Amino acid sequence: MNKMRKIQGGVCAAEGFVAGATGCGIKTGTVTRDDLAIIFSQGATTATATFTTNKVKAAPVRISAEHLRTGRIRAVVLNSGNANACTGPSGMADARAMAAATARSLGLKTSQILVCSTGRIGVPMPMPAILKGIPAVKLTRSGSQKAAKAIMTSDTFAKEFSLEVTTHDGKFRIGGIAKGAGMIDPNMATMLCVVTTDAIIPAGPLRKVLRDSVEDSFNRITIDGDMSTNDTVILLANGASGISPSPAIFRSALDEVTRALARMIVKDGEGVSRFVEVEVRRAASKADARRAAEAIANSTLVKCAWAGGDPNWGRILDAVGYSGARIQESSADIFYDALPVAVNGVVSKTPVRKLRQIAARKSFRVTVDLKLGKASHVVWTTDLTEEYVRLNLGE
């Protein structure tokens, strides 16, 4: 049998990957923390990525998409503090210059570099500082955490996760880093994520497996319903392990990594006090299940109730009602964890005290059973707190 074991190393857990970071003072002009990271594969890779579906795409997203089509990717350069979004033609030139400087520093071609930026929108990149910083990054086998920290914005902890997978042919490794925090919505979050593996995966299957895995992880999380201009998930496979896992084995390992990082992003959402798994089940269709789950997860009123530890089910049913999903009010049940709060569309006999205990926890599950069909959908979300508003009053 195949075994998966959690290991240290993050984006450098896989053989042949090194990472590092440095401080450029990108946001404030003063160097107070690392804000520029590089991840480098010592050998050739197959590479793929999924990007934001926002029609307003940041310059680094456009440049990375271009390089993915034409180049043999070897490295990713990432920065926090400035998203290089809504920056026009000069923003495009800046993203290209970041790639070119990284290529020079590593002895590669510009088209072999992917670029990710996160931070403020609409502000020009401080290019002199960035171009000075790039050659100063020291790449090491233990550089993952430094890189994970450098890409944090309002994140409160660095996000890394890695696995060693034992197959009957031998072992391969997979791991990644991510950042999240604000502007988090399915399709995708304001988030950056780089996953590396030393498994051998051809380009075609790599593309498909990443798309599917993102669908079941990062596209299921929502904090505030806002979708960013910069969202990027990159997957690099350098084959250094010599192992060619079956598509199913690789998929399950990748899912472990993407889902772990996605959950970390939700738990670290701005001002979050609850992590809520919302499941809509027995919906009439897959699309209905998704619509209903996302309407609940994005409802301002539902999220405010959770912040107050209030197991308010009327607001949940109300959200399902306007989601566009088919619903028969008289057959809908709603649960907090295992306890029914509403049965067949009316209040249950569960003591409110017990429901309040659940809704006041740091983590709980809300299940809506529509009893109309067989489709289900799960999203991971949070409450909406006064702290969230305070953090987003402006920059």
Positions in the binding site for its own copies (CB under 8 A): 53-57, 83, 85-88, 120-123, 182-183, 185, 187, 224-229, 298-301, 304-305, 307-310, 312-315, 317-322, 325-327, 329-330, 342, 344-347, 384-386, 388-390, 392-395
Q: Which two tokens stand for residue 326?
A: 């088919």
Q: Which of 296, 178, 256 is nearest to 6 (CA)?
A: 256
Q: Which two tokens stand for residue 111?
A: 């088209």
Widest CA span of the chain, in angstroms? 69
Fill in the DSSP letter of residue 361.
Answer: S
Complex with its own copies: residue 4 or 304, whichever CB lies closer: 304
Fill in the DSSP letter of residue 139.
Answer: P
Least distance (Å) from its own copies to the CB of residue 316? 10
Least distance (Å) from its own copies to the CB of residue 183? 6
Complex with its own copies: residue 122 or 247, whichever CB lies closer: 122
CA angle 64/69/71 to nearest 5° reads 80
Least distance (Å) from its own copies to the CB of residue 76? 23
Complex with its own copies: residue 326 or 365, whichever CB lies closer: 326
Least distance (Å) from its own copies to the CB of residue 19? 29
Q: Which two tokens stand for residue 266?
A: 């939700």
Q: Choosing from 190, 196, 222, 381, which is the catalytic residue?
A: 190
Least distance (Å) from its own copies to the CB of residue 386? 4
Complex with its own copies: residue 160 or 383, whichever CB lies closer: 383
Q: Which two tokens stand for residue 31?
A: 């160097």
State whether residue 177 is helix, strand or coil. Answer: strand
Complex with its own copies: residue 126 or 176, whichever CB lies closer: 126
Least distance (Å) from its own copies to the CB of residue 86? 5
Ramachandran region of residue 23, left (φ > 0), alpha (ψ -120 to 50) or beta?
A: beta
Least distance (Å) from its own copies to the CB of residue 148? 24
Complex with its own copies: residue 33 or 120, whichever CB lies closer: 120
Q: Which two tokens stand for residue 141?
A: 């086998």
Q: Cα-flanking dihedrals φ and ψ of residue 187, to 5°?
A: 60, 45
Q: Which residues, 6+ apart, have CB-to-CB distance to 153 below 8 Å?
A: 80, 81, 118, 119, 179, 181, 182
State whether residue 336 is helix, strand or coil. Answer: strand
Is residue 22 part of the annotated active site? The answer reads no
Complex with its own copies: residue 8 or 344, whichever CB lies closer: 344
Q: Which of 21, 258, 47 is nearest to 162 (CA)?
A: 258
Count other Cβ atoms within 10 Å, centred on residue 361.
13
Q: Which two tokens stand for residue 34?
A: 């690392």
Pairwise CA distance, residues 392 & 365, whole Å: 27
Q: In terms of DSSP bridges, do strands 346-347 and 3-6 run parallel, antiparallel, or are they unpaired? A: unpaired
Catalytic residue IDs: 190
